[in-house]
Amino acid sequence: MKGKKHQFKNTMSRPWRIMNYIFLVIVFMTMFLPLWNVLVMSTSTALDAGASGIKIWWKSFSLEGYEFIFRNMKIATPLKNSIIVSVSGTAAQVLLSALAGYVLIQNDMPFKKSITSFIMLTMMIPGDLTLISIYQLNKQLGFLNSYTGLIINGLVSGFSILLMRNYFLSVPYSLAESARIDGSSELKIFYKIYLPLSGPGLATITFLEFVGKWNSVMIPATITTDPNYFTLPLVLRNLVTDSAAISGAPLAKDNAIMAAIVITTIPLLLVYVFAQRFLTSGMTLGATKE
């Protein structure tokens, strides 16, 4: 209104600002250094990685940890397992969630309300507390130590379905109605109109589900005993606990363990970079109060 003369800065006073910067720098260090330490140790020689001290810079650069983890620990198998299980599981889950989410937006479909409540009810049953029955069920179905078992457990979640439903609700219903009058089939309306208009929603659940499946510890620990079907988190767990602080000679040297950690982290970083812009909206959606 008046010109720029009186435009003042609404910021913290100097001492507060400095304190804030110090606080943030300390936080940054406590978050960053442990991760950086992993990278440095993984690319050091076994001798340097196992030496004491703060390992945040290289004394020697060596890829022997990676070589060891691929050659002696055969990490290629769990890596392959993790990729197969996470990628196919995520693809199937996104498709099923989208289909079910689409069903839940049909305006005058009979039993829509009861189906929605049923799906919400399943979200109240925590999978981790029915673990023993899940084990027995998988045993009965012959899914122990199989890709089918690893993929199918946790394949559908009420959360993803409701997330998809919320995205579909923002697509104008009249679009579907007019296509229906023109004689399009439901499936055609679904993939010609709804799917293309729900890109961010699909990206969000793809990201969330991939991360969840890649990191899953409990289900693989429950339904696999055969090392041929171990996923990366299980192998990593065996590596770190075998050489935990109290036990004797470690199976794998520190640089090899850190190499395994790096290998497990890379795919997560890749999807994170691609999905970052959808993240805030997707993550907060799960925590909004209705």
Binds another protein (CB under 8 A): choice among 68, 159, 167, 214: 214
Of 59-67, 170-178, 184-192, 194-202, the segment contacting another protein by CB under 8 A is 184-192
Residues in 22-41 that interact with another protein by CB under 8 A = 23-24, 27-28, 30-35, 37-38, 41
Residue 28 or residue 61: which is nearer to another protein going by CB?
Answer: 28
Smallest distance from the beta carbon of 117 to another protein, in angstroms?
12
Handedness of CA 205, 208, 211, 214 (dihedral sign): negative
Residue 64 or residue 254: which is nearer to another protein going by CB?
Answer: 254
Smallest distance from the beta carbon of 61 to another protein, in angstroms?
19
Of 68-76, 165-173, 191-199, 212-220, the segment contacting another protein by CB under 8 A is 212-220
Is residue 280 near another protein by the rule CB under 8 A?
A: yes
Smallest distance from the beta carbon of 63 to another protein, in angstroms?
19
Binds another protein (CB under 8 A): choice among 60, 136, 170, 178: 136
Which H or E element spans position 284?
helix 254-285
The Cα 223–Cα 174 span in angstroms is 47
Given the structure tokens 């089918």, which residue do they identify? 148
Residues in 218-277 that interact with another protein by CB under 8 A = 218, 221-222, 232-234, 236-237, 239-241, 244-247, 254, 257-258, 261, 264-265, 268, 272, 276
**Alpha carbon of 124 to those of 113, 127, 196: distances in Å?**
17, 9, 31
Is residue 118 near another protein by the rule CB under 8 A?
A: yes
Helix axis angle, 64-71 relative to 254-285, nearest 10°?
A: 90
Binds another protein (CB under 8 A): choice among 2, 11, 181, 226: 11
Is residue 1 near another protein by the rule CB under 8 A?
A: no
Residues in 151-180 that interact with another protein by CB under 8 A = 152-153, 155-156, 161
Is residue 125 near another protein by the rule CB under 8 A?
A: yes
Residues in 53-92 that interact with another protein by CB under 8 A = 53-56
**Alpha carbon of 277 to those of 32, 165, 197, 245, 282: distances in Å?**
21, 21, 17, 40, 9
Of 57-65, 120-128, 166-174, 198-206, the segment contacting another protein by CB under 8 A is 120-128
Contact 159, 282 (CB under 8 A): no
Under DSSP, the state recorded for 217 is -
Neighbouring residues of 58: CB distance < 8 A, sequence distance ≥ 6: 40, 43, 44, 48
Binds another protein (CB under 8 A): choice among 185, 191, 251, 274: 185
Residue 197 or residue 240: which is nearer to another protein going by CB?
Answer: 240
3-state helix vs strand vs coil in the chain, percent to 5: 70, 0, 30
Number of residues that bind another protein (CB under 8 A): 100
What phi, psi does 84 have (nearest 5°)?
-60, -50
Tell me the residue length of the chain: 290
Smallest distance from the beta carbon of 286 to another protein, in angstroms?
9
Tokens, residue 192? 């010609």
What phi, psi does 122 have (nearest 5°)?
-65, -25
Amino acid symbol at 105 = I
